[in-house]
Structure 1
């Protein structure tokens, strides 16, 4: 799902996961788990903490903007001319957790980054689900 608003665009992905919010939160915030599904990092779930994500294609400079355990995690995402914000929202459901990822801030001239994020987040979320399932 994508949303076009004004001058910037947003990538939104939602997944219904069979895992409780606490388990999903750990996968979103514990360094060793993040590295299994996203990228190598030096993450801490503390507002103001600056960290980097590292992949074969380059680095992403980030800063934690909000961290409310089992509810919301938000951080800036700066890489290759893109300055955006990634926000994770967790909502407890009868069967587990509804996880919503929203990346905002894609300029109209950043089509490659927008398309890359649209596809890339699907891959990352599939990996996240695999990490969660492997911990059962």
Structure 2
């Protein structure tokens, strides 16, 4: 069994205007090699262990797919299109009306992960940041071979989501 789960303090994050949309920029340095992080971002079997959705196909190739948001027993299929896949440094895809761009760069022995999640409304940014914060913390533990199990949807409330949302709201208000 894994040790206790602590998602840690808020990550480096910001919200910037992009025309009529807003982009959450979420940055985390993970102590894992680029190739390992890339595989976790693109392989459906690995995504299912940490992401807020399941993927109908491999995200390492451009093309249409479906991402299914999971919240307890509820499942919502959303169309997705992988727009760019440049292993192991750039992955960009749509998720419903949102656009996600994952940028990976070497950071010592690890990987600097930058997520640019474009949203229709800036008010969603603290909630989205808190959700990705938990997901990336789960991803880090998964890649360290110390999995805690996927935490998504309403289950996130039991793992500090409310406090993280409030912390990100304060951060973005400055």
Range class of TM-score, shorter chain: 0.7 to 0.9
> TM-score when scaled to structure 2?
0.67
Equivalences, count: 128
Displacement of 1:43: 2.7
Q: Which runs of 5+ in 1 are unaligned?
A: none
Give the match for residue 16 of structure 2: 4
SS for the counterpart of 2:126 is helix
Residue 58 of structure 1 and its aligned partner are, at CA, apart by 4.1
- Structure 1 length-normalised TM: 0.84
Match of 1:117 in 2: 128
Q: Distance in 1 between matches of 2:107 and 2:47?
A: 23
Contact 1:53 1:62 in 2 (8 A): no
Q: Name the CA distance, whole Å, in 2 between partners of 1:94 and 1:46.
A: 27
1:48 corresponds, among 53, 59, 63, to 63
Any idea what SS the aligned residue of 1:36 has?
Answer: coil
1:99 aligns with 2:113: yes
Task: Determine whether 1:66 maps to 2:84.
Answer: yes
Give a deviation string over 1:59-110, Cα, whole Å, max 9, x none: 23211111011110011011xxxx11001000012221101111013235xx
In the TM superposition, what are the counterparts of 1:80-95 in structure 2 within 5 Å?
A: 83-95=97-109
Contact in 2 for aligned 1:34/1:40 (Cα 8 Å):
yes
Partner of 2:44: 31
Between 26-35 and 6-15, report the one with greater CA deviation. Answer: 6-15
Cα offset for 1:4?
2.9
d(CA) in 1 for partners of 2:100, 2:57: 14
Which secondary structure state, in structure 2, belongs to the residue aligned with residue 134 of structure 1?
Answer: coil
From the two aligned structures, give the one with the greater strand fraction.
Answer: 1
